[in-house]
Amino acid sequence: MKTISGLRPHFLLVAAMLAAAVSAPCQSASTLPADKADARRQELLSAARETMQTARYCAVITVDETGWAQSRTVDAFAPDSNMVVWFATKPKSRKVTQIKRDPRVTLYYFNSEHPELGYVTLLGRARLVDDAAEKQRRWKPEWAALWPDRNASYLLVEITPERLELMSPKHGITGDPITWAPASLEFGASVEHPR
């Protein structure tokens, strides 16, 4: 059995995050006055953007034909001003088949080099985009080896957010002290911890 002194520093930070989540008060944005709720929403979005932009990769999670969640790593673009996220894939990939059957997806961001930023989970709807102009705009030169023929082998996926969940110890954003539910936002509404 390892002692605490034998654990790696980021494991200790994760343990501290969980302890903070248990002890920190949780205030729902929906119970705040409108101006404070908007400020809280902007605070959560800012912290989420920082985590998403510093994570080199994220996991995209879909549901397969048997009902099992399938996760894989993608090199997504940074979220736009509406928190819409884009990434690329091959047209014949399993994720494309799964998105065609059920467009609900989850993106998960965590940067192990900066665990103090916490994590972000973005739940949304995927749309497959095979538009030449959009593919030209959304391209990374380092992808040339993966997609030598951008016209035939390169497909974009656009994720429109419906819900965002996050914890960010750096920003004092922790979860519900009883349920550990993370801070969250509904797009179209501002709800931090629905009860």
pLDDT digits (tens, 9 = 90+) for 108-155: 999 999 999 999 999 999 999 999 999 999 999 999 998 888 888 899
Model confidence at 14, pLDDT cuts 50, 70, 90, reads very low
With contact defined as beta carbons under 8 Å apart, do 102 and 127 qualify? no
Predicted TM-score of the model (pTM): 0.79
Mean of the per-residue pLDDT values of the chain: 84
Q: Which of 81, 92, 159 is nearest to 126 (CA)?
A: 159
Q: What percent of the chain has pLDDT over 90?
A: 69
Domains of the chain: 4-186 (2.30.110.10)
Model confidence at 82, pLDDT cuts 50, 70, 90, reads very high
Q: Which of 75, 22, 41, 36 is nearest to 191 (CA)?
A: 41
